[in-house]
Amino acid sequence: MSGLGSMRTSTSLSRFEAFRIPKGSFSLILPALLILFAFFSPVSHAAVQPVSVSAQLYVSGVQMASGLETYSIRGNFSNPTPQPVTLYVSQDGVSNSEKFIAALEPATSASISFDVSSNSTLQNSSISVWAYYPDNSKILIAGLGLPANPNYPDKDVSQEIRQAYGFLLPVFLALFLGYLALLAIFVKKHASETSNHGEFTLKSLLMPSFGAKSTLFEKVSAIFTNPVLWLDEALFVLVLLALINSQLSTLAGPDEALRIVCVAGIGAGVLPLLYLIGAYLLDFKVAHKPFRLFFAFFMWGAFSAVIAFFANSILSSALGSFGIDLSSASAVVLATAIASPLIEESVKGFGVYIGSKSRAFDSVPTGMLLGFACGIGFSFVENWFYFTSRTTPFELGFGGWVALIVYRSFFNCLSHGIFTGSVGGFIGYLKGHPAFASKYHFGAVPGVIFAIILHSIFNSSAIIDTLAISQYDFAFFIFNPFVAVVFNLLFVLVLFLSIREFWAGGGKKGSN
């Protein structure tokens, strides 16, 4: 037994000896295994960078539209590495969602803002931010959960829209028809008191008459007060509203879109119509000018909003084709504070200039009030577009949407009237003074420039308010309404002084 056991042991040892690793080989094998592990490891090379990029993220704002929430994200990024990196964001759980944020140079830090969108029906949505190195390796540097927005409107918004539509539409139509009836009675009763009444007859309303020596602009001015032109101007407004309604239908459905357009139109139109009748009655007390002239300027203002809408769109497309980022802060400021006032006041001012060819446009008060009518016509249509295309009750909630309608209809409408009223005031001043009457058309140039400056100041104050709300958590606009109130007070003061001067010159009854 001992001999057999000894033989088996010897055999086992001999086999072991055949596969025995030479002494000292572990010093070579261990480094080799480490090299192979590092080469074939699924861990990115960037993960072993001695120092990595870091980031701190937070949500700075949320906008909502038809179930899609857009989160404004702000991040403080730091790249202490000696290599440049590019930053990308991806939405977790959503394929092909990765998009470029910015490039970060070596040993630099930056505060960067970007937007991500998320369907509001998704639960626990989150994002990840990645840093890519020059060798295309990447590391995860930050993650952020997208919070549920408690202000996102629920299904009650649709019900509120239907209730508002069912109540406001018949009430508005009844009041509007009553308004037209009373206006018609007033105009007919005081037709004989209207100055320049020989220029404004029923025949001239339907068939404008031209003098033998009338210039082209004087003939256009006669057409300016013709209902055919008003219908053409209204048609352009309706076409653009139809396009907006079609776009809104894809988001909210055709029935809901129509209700929103109607409610927005009522909200945008009530105050401008009251302002228009107020301007007419005030001028009638002072200079007895016809309502037809005021409505003509109002309709040109409405048509100007359509022209400005397409002009701003064409300008945006042109700048975008040159690679200009229209969403950047500088582009937004330039568009809001410079481009829009320049385009809008030029278009409105051109109409005031054409209308000033009428003999009834003969004084500062009439010029200011006719220009005011043009401005509120512009604001009426611009607000209507804004309430249906730039924002909806689904974004702000029904209460927030109504509050926006009231705010813009009051402040923006009056302000637009003041901007364009200044153009009429400059022209009316020259036309009302015999020494300058032959050169009155030159008043349009300083008038439009002044209107652009006022408009730019007003828009800039809105930008400041927006920054104050986002940066310092202001609860509401402060600077924009303050500027609007100051402009209104100055306009009323100038109008009052001009009326006193007009009456002092014996012009209360008006003249041809």
Q: Which residues of the chain fall short of a pLDDT of 50?
A: 1-19, 21, 26, 38, 41-50, 65-67, 120-123, 150-154, 508-512
Residue 511: predicted pLDDT: 42
Q: How far is CA 463 from the centre of its chain?
A: 11
State how far the Cα of 113 lies from the Cα of 57, in Å rounded to an integer.
Answer: 10
- Residues 482-493 pLDDT 10s: 999 999 999 999
Residue 213: predicted pLDDT: 64
Residue 72: predicted pLDDT: 81
Residue 509: predicted pLDDT: 44
Q: Is 298 exposed, middle or buried (0-12, 13-18, 19+ CB in 10 A)?
A: buried
**C-beta of residue 371 within 8 angstroms of C-beta of residue 297:** yes
State how far the Cα of 72 lies from the Cα of 329, in Å rounded to an integer.
Answer: 13
Residue 179: predicted pLDDT: 87
Kindly list the structural domains of the chain, giving each domain's residue range(s) and its CATH number in brackets, ordered by start.
47-145 (2.60.40.10), 156-504 (no CATH)
Residue 4: predicted pLDDT: 39
pTM summary value: 0.69
Q: Which of 339, 281, 284 is nearest to 312 (CA)?
A: 339
Residue ranges in 432-478 assigned as alpha helix (H):
444-472
Residue 70: predicted pLDDT: 75
Residue 11: predicted pLDDT: 41
DSSP state of 316: H
Tell me how far CA of residue 143 lies from CA of 106, 296, 504, in angstroms.
22, 58, 73
Residue 512: predicted pLDDT: 37
Name the percent of the chain in helix, strand, coil, to the closest 5.
65, 10, 25
